[in-house]
Amino acid sequence: MPQARTLLAATDFSTPARHALERAALLAQAHPDASLTLAHVVSRSALDALRRMLPGDAATLEAQVLDEADKKLNELASNLAARHGFAVDTALVQGAALAALADLAETQQIDLLVMGARGTHFMVELLLGSTTERVLSKTRRPLLAVKQRAQSPYRRILAPVDFSAHCAAAINTAYAWLPDADFVLLHAFEVELESTFQFAGMDDDQIHEYRIQARSAAQVAMEAFIDTLNVPAPQLTRQFVHGAATLRILEHEQTMDADLIVMGKHGQSVMEELLLGSVTKHILSHSSSDVLIVGQAA
């Protein structure tokens, strides 16, 4: 018997978080074996500040803060359960949002972490990177960053392809949750040293020939890559474009009116913890659609 799927949807009670909860509920509703938990992190630093500022009443006020958060969280869970027809659990934890969410995801061994792409403290996130980006640097669990209001299941999925195992894992994860969706596999190719060739005065026809060769090599690599996917052939479309991946992905997102972008996240290097990976971070920041990021093969 297959193991039940688990979703963890994080909320800070903001509007983007409400969209994330609705999307998580839609995903859970589509899978009878799935369970959904709503999580809220009460900031430990805020509670510490409360104790310093109001030492005499700190214990009472702290209990009041926790009780109010628990009440709001359970109200959200009850409303989702009533609308979608299944039980919704809750988890109220204390700590720093990044560490607490990552620890909770690992403790519960969740299959998908769902978050709003932006939260309440928007200006702080602009300066430090969004909570979503920072959580991604701390967990290998698949993370769905929700930007749009959840009105219907994802149907049109854009999957940028670099032919890596991480990329294949991301697409297979998306297909496991969305078996009826159509996938556009987009590979953006560039000719190595093309700008140098141009500066050196190489003939445009010769540069074009190099582009043709790069495209042909990408087509061969794409077929080998598709062999590693679980997605049925009729649900796959291949697209090859010349240019920088960050630009071409966003252009294609608009052209095809994508519901979701699916990307792999490579490894857990120190540099990646700081930058996530330039393409992934750029798409997460600038795309209009939701973004699913998967850290490693299962």
pLDDT tens figures, 126-163: 333 466 777 777 788 899 999 999 989 999 999 999 99
Q: What angle do CA 111, 114, 117 make, to 5 degrees?
A: 145
pLDDT above 50 (res 272): no
Give the number of other CB atoms < 10 A from CB of residue 181: 18
CA gap 60, 74 in Å, rounded? 21
DSSP 214: H
What pLDDT does residue 46 have?
67
What pLDDT does residue 239 have?
96
Q: Long-range contacts made by residues 97-100, C-beta under 8 angstroms, separation at least 24?
A: 97/12, 97/41, 97/43, 97/131, 97/135, 98/131, 98/134, 98/135, 98/138, 99/138, 100/41
φ and ψ of 93, to 5 deg: -130, 155
User: What are the start and end residues of each CATH 3.40.50.620 domain in the chain?
Assistant: 1-151, 152-298
pLDDT above 60 (res 269): no
Lowest mean pLDDT among 53-57, 65-69, 124-128, 282-286: 124-128
What pLDDT does residue 118 have?
67
pLDDT above 80 (res 295): no
CA gap 287, 53 in Å, rounded? 41
Under 8 Å between Cβ of 40 and 5: no
What pLDDT does residue 116 have?
87
What pLDDT does residue 3 have?
61
Token pair in block for residue 188:
């953006």
What pLDDT does residue 4 have?
75
- pLDDT bucket at 125, cuts 50 / 70 / 90: very low
Could you read off the pLDDT of 90-111 as tens digits, one per residue? 999 888 777 888 889 988 899 9
pLDDT above 50 (res 123): no
CATH architecture, domain defined by 152-298: 3-Layer(aba) Sandwich (3.40)
What pLDDT does residue 137 have?
72
| 3.40.50.300, 3.40.50.620, 3.40.50.10880, 3.40.640.10: CATH of 1-151 | 3.40.50.620
**Percent of the chain beyond pLDDT 90?**
50
Quote the pTM value.
0.85
